Amino acid sequence: MLGTVVGAWKIEERLGEGGMGTVYAARHTVMGRRGAVKVLKAEMTRQPDTVQRFFNEARAAAAIESPGIVDVFDMGQTADGTAYLVMELLEGESLAARLRRTRAQSPETAARLARQIAGALAAAHERGIVHRDLKPDNIFLVPDAETTAGERVKLLDFGIAKLHGELAADAPITHTGALFGTPVYMAPEQCKGGVAVDHRADLYALGCILYQMLCGRVPFLAAGLGELLSMHMFDLPAAPRTIAPSVPESLEGITLCLLEKEPDRRFASARALCNALDAALGRPLGATAPGASQAVAMPAMATGGGSTEPVIRTDPGLPTDPTISAGGSLRPVPTTLGGASGEARGATAPTRAPGGRRLWPWLAGGALVAGGAAVVIVLALGGGGAGGANAAGGGGGAGATSGAPIDAAVLTTPTFGLDFLAGYERASGSKMTAYQSSGAWASAAADFEQAASQPGAPMRWTSAAVTCRGFAAVHADDLTKGRALFEEAIGADATWPIPHLGLSGALSGLGEVEPAIAAAHAAQRLAPSWWMTVAAEARVHRRARAYDRAIEQYRRALLVAPDEPILLAELALVYHATRLDTEAERYARDALAKDPDMVAVHLMLAERALEQKQGEEALAAANRVVALEPQSATGLLARADALLMLGQKGEAKEVYAQLVALVERTNDKTVEARRVDDIRAALARGKLPLGRGERERHGAPSRRSGSSSRRSDSLSNDPLNGLDL
């Protein structure tokens, strides 16, 4: 395109290329002003939602009108329909490039940069704009003699920003459950998918960035995407002062407050954060740093989602999301497939399952493909790129193949999808929660679909795309659709155990016991040492209430994985359902000894304590459930019942009301509808609902004849007298 005119801008120099487009330096044909032109790829231009998201960036940046936000001068489409944006041409470096070069910053520098970022976020949030993909690649540091520190922060890439009010009128529709963001910096509520995300997700991302600036590493390091999402949702980061003792206590407190799991426990607003940082920097509360009143920066998406910085001329081949290797050097977040292919270049060795199986061959379809940057519209994990992720939002993958006639040098690998499925194989205990999101599976499917559309792509990627769609359907409670998708995936590749496993769960949920067992057997024949395939038949029997056969199969699965918390927990639930509560409690305690965050086990213990009229024990267990999963309807019900049992009527009434509000807001079906209706009716009359003891005395069904659950493929759905685990 060199020498051509786009709008009123003549293209002079190519700056970089990524998954969605190319960035050029350009000059205005009349005024002579220089700018950066981002041009959307032709195939992307044919996708209306993608074009709208592309223009979303311009609309959002223009609406904020802050010196801390990159200026967007113009946008439009050429005569042939090619979409483009024109932005200011920035000279300097990204925060990502600086951190690769210097690792940690001094506490004062980190606080100063965080203060500028917070100021720009405040300007965006006050215009109803949530960035949703804040990371160091989207924070650009521009020399500016008018600022105290001699540089100004610029916030880039609002391509996946969430708009509100009049700004949202023409924005593309966001599908419920879809994930947006870059996993290394993603808030717990973003990781869950389908959960409302507001401005406090940006504050969490800024907490990750501030932590990285102070400590020289991000808060959470993981070998796979599923594990990383789970760590954001459940694990506590190491205190910054344990890594960098020079960090002041005040700055450590600010950082950990930003990294709180629950949004309500973070700073209420970016302005409140500005005040806290001003205090930490020794300024009066509410004061503005000279020259940095609104200067801020944020991160961009390492997906093909258009995270294109206007100009970055340095480090063109470095990875997007740096973490720290065991030896202290910077490297990209490791992926299962990338690790396998990276043995020749000194990368992490392929992850192995407990039994020694390599995990990546299932996912790569027999081809050894080097991991590059995933090109995904919805979400991706950063990787390297031939053009540099800093240049144009993601870069393409490069690598070699073995055993297949594929030119991998031109293939973009589905890094996010591959990591996601590898993590699914490794997931254990409460970490499996990361795989109960319909949106997460849909994002993995989108990654595989885009990669599979490339000429010469392995057939396994096509099967994986359909399989992930099947799990997305199942977790959205569309079992019939899930069944059809799993059958389609098996038709494309019958040698892969995961779609057989999914089919077994879908058939079981539809009440087709024998076909479900047959599918479970097929999965087990393909992967006899994977505990999930061995446990598949047990889950079918448990769903069919054939508890004796379920116990037999669970015991068999424990021979394969004796320390797996999920197996111990599910066996405890089966024993509880058969009135063998001594055995139930033994296995429950064993499960919690392996993983204290097993929500279903705490809920079962709350149920058990309620049955025995042990109010204090029931309340303690229910409180643990709600602490681990605040949006658990069954946890709220158990807590309310326990409070009522203890005579704390006022608080019990409040929790019952919270339960009803949650069910109405989310359409949650884990508590039987009749129980919710009874509670709603009682509250409408200004009375308390019947508690556990009163319900049983009035003839309500006991847990031994409980309601049917939605599905049997997860611990969170096992019916116990209205407490649907």
Catalytic residues: 133
H helix or E strand, kind and range, residue 719? strand 719-720
Q: What angle do CA 480, 478, 518 make, to 5 degrees?
A: 45
Beta strands in 320-391 (DSSP E): 322-324, 330-332
Q: Name residue 526's amino acid.
A: L
Q: Tell me how far apart the alpha carbons of residues 330 and 99 are, in angstroms, rounded to a whole number.
A: 9
* Cβ(575)–Cβ(584) below 8 Å: yes
CA 596 to chain centre: 22
E-state strands within 161-208: 162-163
Name the residue among 7, 33, 11, 17 with its Cα closest to residue 375. Answer: 17
DSSP 34: E
Closest Cα to residue 715, out of 338, 313, 431, 413? 431
Q: Which amino acid is at 516?
A: A
Place of tokens 């685990």: 725
Q: CA-CA distance, 63 to 123, in Å (whole number)?
A: 10
> Buried b vs exposed e over 307-330: b needs ≥16 C-beta within 10 Å?
bbbbbbeebbebbbbbbbbeeeeb
Q: How far apart are CA 359 and CA 357, in angstroms?
A: 6
Q: Which of 54, 333, 308, 41 is nearest to 172 (CA)?
A: 54
Greatest pairwise CA separation for the chain in angstroms: 86
Dihedral of CA 451/396/358/407: which sign?
positive
For residues 83 and 635, what is the distance between their CA atoms, to the nearest angstrom? 49
What is the C-alpha separation between 182 and 22, in angstroms, rounded?
21
Task: Name the CA radius of gyration of the chain, rounded.
Answer: 26
CA 509 to chain centre: 26
The torsion angles phi and psi of 73, rounded to 5 degrees, stand at -85, -35
Chain CA centroid to CA 550, Å: 33
Candidates 723, 428, 720; CA nearest to 581 is: 720
Structure tokens at 188: 């717990």
Q: Output the six-digit token pair for 291.
A: 């020259």
Closest CA to 502 of 528, 540, 529: 540
Phi, psi of 75 (to 5 degrees): -155, 160
CB 301 within 8 A of CB 133: yes
Exposed / middle / buried, residue 513 (Cβ in 10 Å: 0-12, 13-18, 19+): middle
Task: Report yes or no: 144 and 154 within 8 Å, Cβ to Cβ.
Answer: no
Q: Please state, in angstroms and rounded to a whole number, the distance separating the CA atoms of residues 567 and 594.
A: 11
Distance CA 596, CA 281 (A): 39
Answer yes or no: are the C-beta atoms of 427 and 434 closer than 8 Å. yes
